[in-house]
A and B are shown apart, each in its own frame.
Chain A
Amino acid sequence: MDFGLSPDQVLLQDTLTRMLAEQAPLERVRRYAEQNEDRAGDVWDATVELGLSGLVIEEAYGGAGLGLVEAALAAETLGAHVAPVPFIATGVVVPLALQEGGSEAQRDRWLPRLASGACIAGLALSEHSGAREDARIISEQDRLSGRALFTLDHAADAYLVADTVGALYLVEADAAGLTRIDLTTVDRSRRTGELCFNKTPAERLAGSDAALTRRCLDRARVLLAADTLGAAQHMLNAAVDYAKQREQFGRVIGSFQAVKHMCAEMAAALEPCRAMVWYAAYALEALPDEAHLTACHTKAHLSEVGKSVARTATEVHGGMGFTDLLGLHYWFKRIGLNRQLLGSPERLRHEAALAQGLVDGIGET
């Protein structure tokens, strides 16, 4: 039994951390956000160079062939740096969907381009985690119509889209009848948006079905939880550092028990989340019977703890925490967006209850 990180996994996180500290310091994130850049090309290039775009792609297609635990560690590190690069869709969920549901021709065509970073793929699963407005995708003879809201990795060259029955399609960004609309969220470190399809030609993933769509959803949820873990850990670290150096009444504020206990409460809630994310990522691959339940609970729980840490860490910083100058709000907002994407905590806990046969007798034995 080994439920800890291997030296290679630690090295992966350390390498990524060093790269992001150099290539994506807060000033770089700020420039991406304030100038409304479509893509942070320099950061993306460095990310590709480290192999993140091909992290889970089989070596035969130019990837590293690693698993979802490594993907979760990468997502955590990107969250810790509020990194302005796509990853969850283009680096993990879309390539895995292709590897499991794509025909040989589809894998040959897409996977090498995803691995090399030449193609960025977004993800549109909106109505499978609760549809807002009238969002839904209808397919008819490999043409899609309808709307998909809140894509992941929106600034993309292609999209993986689920229709109402859970079949998956690949659509080029410049396909006829596809209109892309940017949605401006509080989190400016990533892009999300809306896709409007009007009899848009799409390529059905040969082996896709509702079960694969469910797995895509669970994977994306665990990775969003991992992103929140990294962002929340950064906010806790920042709060502790600030409390150790900021002085009032002739003492560092970290010596006041009121402030110390705020920090201790954050740590007490957040530290078990690390193991929870590991477990959920591991379950996606190794424990198929538990994977959906743990994905729902992990994203719900991380969203709750993340929200509380984001608020408390901001408060520890006092007035400075409220300013744009300090930039702490980038992490606050990243956590805020993660919480709402692909299922709010309430929605996810409802799904967790459903998965256990606890809802109105459905599935009870």
Chain B
Amino acid sequence: MDLSLGPHYEEFRARVRGFLDAHAATAPRGILNLRAPETLAWQKTLIENGYAGRTIPREYGGYGAPADILEMRIIAEEFASAQIPQGLAGQGITMLIPTLLEFGTEAQREQFIAPTLRGELIWCQGYSEPNAGSDLASLKTHAVLDGDEWVINGQKIWTSTAHLADWMFCLVRTEPDKPKHEGISFLLLPMSTPGIEVRPLVTMTGDASFNEVFFTDVRVPAGQIIGRRGDGWKVANTLLGHERGMLGNPNLTLQRFNALVELMREETLDGSRLIDNPVWRERLMQIQGRMMALRANDLRLLSARANGATAPLAAMVVKLQGTELRHDLEGLAIDALGELGVLYRGSPLLRDSGYWQQHHMYFLGLIIGGGTSQIQKNIIAERGLGMPREPRAAGR
């Protein structure tokens, strides 16, 4: 057991720090505005220096470095601690590009990868439907081949950035007579296509980060398919594998924890600091203990990947435990603030721009989204512990 990174990676870390120091004054801060000239310029700088599109081949506009999970982690850690955004990370970049590299035709790769990476082409993901959430494979939006065009009808929901996107990658049913997992295809379509209607979906945080998307006789060239007809589920699961592969950055949780410690040091109740109250301190330390367990688990996974080993159960628990921890961490700040904790955007006396409330609600969304905690428990029980699968409902 040896947690030191060694001279190669320490040198690499120093290089990342050097880059961040050199750009500290000019780099954009906070959330990047899509399409803004300064965002595109920053993305270009990051690609040129290997901090965005790092492992994407040069012929598709990437940096072309070999995949190295420790280098990727060091980059993520250093950008997080410098509080400088590590470029664009929309679903086009994180999910579609890896899929195109694996399943796309040469023409598709050339058409889409470079502009997507540069931030010129914004994508949204059309998967979930009102009646296909946890049971995604039962989706009903369908496409029928009419000459050399697909004609799509149906509805998608929870579609992030659909109101801003240029294109959508989506799952539609093309083989209605086949079993549900074998009847799905993976299509690409411009959002400007006639027949698409996007309606914003405001969430409990007050933000409209999601949309509903309606399709009425939407016509798409037959060639805009990734993989073969009926292969969509396989293609999508590879994508979801990429999504699950992203372990998240535990340093972001650490930053929120440190902010919580600061809050308890500064805020007072009856004139005494919260941190001096043993009840609040105890709750803070409980959160820290849970966080330390997950940080150690993350190190184990990182090391396993770097060394070509696996720790399947340790990986399966990350989403469940990580989202619950963040929700509880943000919730503790609200509790500690008492009445001040329920103030929200625009109010006098508001603390930290209302982020504690916003994140508390947002992480409830993440507990539900991307495979609910209950689905996660099924996965852990069935795949991790080898327990019996859910019995299929009759007739399905």
Contacts and interface: CB of A to CB of B under 8 A. Distances in A.
Q: Which of B289, B388, B390 has the most CB of A within 10 A?
A: B289
A300 interface: yes
B377 A273 contact: no
B299 A279 contact: yes
Contact of A268 (B3, B288, B380): B380
Interface string A97-109: 0000000000000
Q: Which of B3, B286, B296 has the most CB of A within 10 A?
A: B296
Range class of the A interface residue count: 35 or more
Contacts of B275: 358
Q: Which of A5, A268, A360 has the most CB of B within 10 A?
A: A268
Contacts of A264: 376-378, 380-381, 384-385
Given A1-B6, A265-B377, A358-B261, A300 B289 contact: yes
A34 interface: no
A263 B381 contact: yes
B296 A275 contact: yes
Given A3-B303, A268-B320, A353-B281, A263 B289 contact: no
A3 B387 contact: no
Contacts of A252: 388
B2 interface: yes
Interface string A287-324: 10000001001101100100000000000000000000
B242 interface: no
A2 B289 contact: no
Interface string B120-143: 000000000000000000000000
B380 A267 contact: yes
B321 interface: yes
B366 to A, nearest CB: 16
Interface in B36-62: none
Contacts, number: 157
A278 B301 CA distance: 13
A273 B295 CA distance: 10
A352 to B, nearest CB: 5
Contacts of B313: 267, 271
Interface stretch (A87-95, A253-261, A331-339): A253-261
Nearest to B278: A350
A363 interface: no
Interface string B269-297: 00000011010011011101110111011
Contacts of B384: 264, 267
A347 to B, nearest CB: 11
Contact of B317 (A3, A257, A272, A297): A272
Nearest to A364: B265
B377 A268 contact: yes
Interface in B280-336: 281-282, 284-286, 288-290, 292-294, 296-297, 299-300, 302-304, 306-307, 309, 311, 313-314, 316-317, 320-321
Contact of A255 (B261, B307, B380, B391): B391
A293 to B, nearest CB: 8
A279 B293 CA distance: 9
B20 interface: no
Contact of A257 (B261, B278, B314, B390): B390
A272 B385 contact: no
A264 to B, nearest CB: 4
B289 A3 contact: no
Given A255-B388, A301-B289, A349-B285, A4 B303 contact: yes
Nearest to B312: A271
A131 B1 CA distance: 36
Contacts of B304: 4
Nearest to B324: A268
B205 to A, nearest CB: 26
Nearest to B306: A1
B83 interface: no
Contacts of B297: 271-272, 274-276
B285 A352 contact: yes
Interface in B199-257: none
A297 B288 contact: yes
Contact of B387 (A254, A282, A301, A360): A254
A276 B307 contact: no
A268 B316 CA distance: 8
Contacts of B382: 260
A360 B265 CA distance: 10
A272 B385 CA distance: 15
B26 interface: no
A297 B289 contact: yes
B296 A260 contact: no
A265 B311 CA distance: 18
A69 interface: yes
B303 A2 contact: yes
Interface string A4-39: 111000000000000000000000000000000000
Please name the 10 residue pairs, one residue from A and one from B, whose CB atoms are nearest each other, closest first. Answer: A349-B285, A272-B297, A264-B377, A275-B296, A3-B303, A255-B388, A260-B381, A275-B300, A264-B380, A301-B289
Interface of A: 1-6, 69, 240, 243-244, 252, 254-255, 257, 260-261, 263-265, 267-269, 271-276, 278-279, 282, 286-287, 294, 297-298, 300-301, 304, 346, 349-350, 352-353, 358-361
26 contacts: A1-B2, A1-B4, A2-B1, A2-B307, A3-B303, A5-B1, A255-B387, A257-B378, A257-B390, A261-B374, A261-B377, A265-B377, A268-B316, A268-B317, A272-B296, A274-B300, A275-B296, A275-B300, A282-B1, A297-B292, A301-B289, A346-B282, A349-B282, A350-B282, A352-B289, A359-B276
